[in-house]
Structure 1
Amino acid sequence: MVVVVVVVVLIVVVVLLLPLLLVVVVVVVVVVVVVVEVVGVVVVGDLSLSACPKPRLCNLSCVCEKLCRAVAFTLCTLEVVVVVVVVVVVVVVVVVAAIVVVATALIEEEV
């Protein structure tokens, strides 16, 4: 009976806390991106932009190339955030499914 209670509590904690953790991670990443863009840290900007090629519009000799690069960097970073969120959600679903399967097996053994 104790095993059943522990497994149920574990499922509740995982289901309730992981979405909250996910929201916190997304908010932190967005805040970091905004701070990097506002402060204009050259190293981070260059590293990120080298991983994300500039859009063709930035190749035009436009007056606002810095703005153009900042937008490209932000969009690329948001794409990365979306990928991370999708991966985390998939992992959470798999973990919860595994816990439910184990819990069901343990409950059946108890009965």
Structure 2
Amino acid sequence: MAQETIFAKIIAGEIPVEKVYESDSVLAFRDIAPQAKVHLLVIPKTTAYENVTELAAGDPALLADMVAVAKQLADEHGEGEYRLVFNNGASAGQTVFHVHAHVLIDDLKEQSLGG
């Protein structure tokens, strides 16, 4: 990763967040600008991957761990139903170039995106 990101500073403890999960490899915390009733971010503690494509190619087990954490958080903070979003690239809405997943939990039955 070429530049230090806000997530690297969060991992280093330089920026405080409301943590909801932490392991040796993954950190999850509440998004400061939530887009749903519950909006959590799940990030790996490594800064080696800018996006989900790089992570999938470089460390698929870590990607699987992130998805498992997302499911666990959905069970804890909702009823197990959730949206999991990875933005991949600037034109797709990625603004922080440290791979991260958005876990969005709200009234999914009322706001289905379909497909």
More helix by share: 1
Which structure carries more relative contact order (alpha carbon 8 Å, separation 6+)?
Answer: 1
More strand by share: 2
Bin of the TM-score, shorter chain as denominator length: under 0.3
Q: What TM-score comes out, normalization by structure 1 length?
A: 0.27
